[in-house]
């Protein structure tokens, strides 16, 4: 559950994220979000367009969530923390809202991946790229999906053939792995990235 003094993105009467569909039930919203973003995600991956920048990540988020959330493509304006099962319920505290833009640009500058390295080097670099952005948590919702999708396009642009089906079917695992990465346990995130690289080679 998201904890903060006041969440401007949530309807005070229903406790559900404000959405274009007028849905007031959390389970129904989750299903609608999943259905709509799957379609948009496919369109995003089919497009050859790619730019390495924090603005491009914002654009991708907007494309993915434009049918359902007014905040699609916009940096969150609230501070946020979430209790995490991987931390036995302790909260993960994300970057303060006023720091997001600066930190995001810094992450893109400092975590750019050298795709000319060996598998181990590229794996560690991709994990660092994903982990640094996820820790910032630039969006109110949809951070993990946006980061995974952007990373796949990033790899494609640099002619690295990943097993994308493995990543697309592992959102929950990758999210937990990102939590552990932030807490200095990179092996889970690195494992699935390496598996995707190795399987992609054989595709």
Q: What pLDDT, on a 0 to 100 scale, did the predictor assign at position 87?
A: 53
Residues pairing with 17 in the sheet: 10
Domain locations in the chain as residue ranges: 2-202
Per-residue pLDDT tens, the chain, 203 aa: give them.
444 458 999 999 999 999 999 999 999 999 999 999 999 999 999 999 999 999 999 999 999 999 999 999 999 999 987 766 655 455 677 899 999 999 999 999 999 999 999 999 999 999 999 999 999 999 999 999 999 999 999 999 999 999 999 999 999 999 999 999 998 899 999 999 999 999 998 76
End-to-end CA gap in the chain: 39
- Which pLDDT value is given to residue 11? 96
Give the pLDDT of residue 83: 61
pLDDT score for 2: 43
Exposed / middle / buried, residue 2 (Cβ in 10 Å: 0-12, 13-18, 19+):
middle
pTM to 2 decimal places? 0.93
Q: Write b or e for each residue in 69-83: b if 16 or more Cβ atoms lie within 10 A of its Cβ, otherwise e.
A: bebbbebbeeebeee
- Residue 201: what pLDDT? 82
Contact 135, 182 (CB under 8 A): yes
Predicted pLDDT at 60? 98
Question: What does the radius of gyration of the chain's CA atoms come to, in whole angstroms?
Answer: 17
pLDDT score of 26: 96
* pLDDT at residue 85, rounded to an integer: 60
Instruction: Assign domain 2-202 to its CATH superfamily.
Output: Fido-like domain (1.10.3290.10)
pLDDT of residue 4: 46
């Amino acid at each position: 559950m998201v904890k903060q003094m006041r969440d401007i993105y949530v309807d005070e009467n229903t406790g559900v994220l404000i959405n274009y569909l007028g849905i007031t039930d959390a389970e129904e919203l989750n299903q609608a979000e999943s259905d709509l973003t799957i379609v948009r995600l496919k369109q995003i991956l089919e497009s050859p367009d790619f730019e390495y920048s924090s603005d491009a990540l914002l654009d991708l988020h907007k494309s993915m969530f434009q049918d359902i959330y007014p905040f699609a493509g916009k940096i969150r304006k609230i501070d946020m923390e979430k209790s995490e099962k991987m931390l036995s319920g302790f909260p993960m505290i994300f970057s303060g809202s006023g720091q997001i833009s600066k930190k995001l640009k810094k992450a893109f500058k400092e975590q750019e991946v050298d795709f000319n390295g060996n598998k181990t080097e590229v794996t560690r670099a991709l994990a660092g790229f994903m982990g640094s952005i996820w820790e910032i948590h630039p969006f109110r919702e949809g951070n993990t999906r946006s980061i995974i999708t952007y990373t796949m396009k990033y790899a494609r642009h640099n002619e690295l053939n990943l097993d994308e089906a493995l990543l697309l079917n592992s959102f929950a695992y990758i999210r937990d792995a990102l939590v552990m990465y932030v807490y200095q346990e990179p092996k889970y995130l690195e494992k699935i990235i390496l598996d995707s690289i190795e399987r992609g080679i054989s595709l």
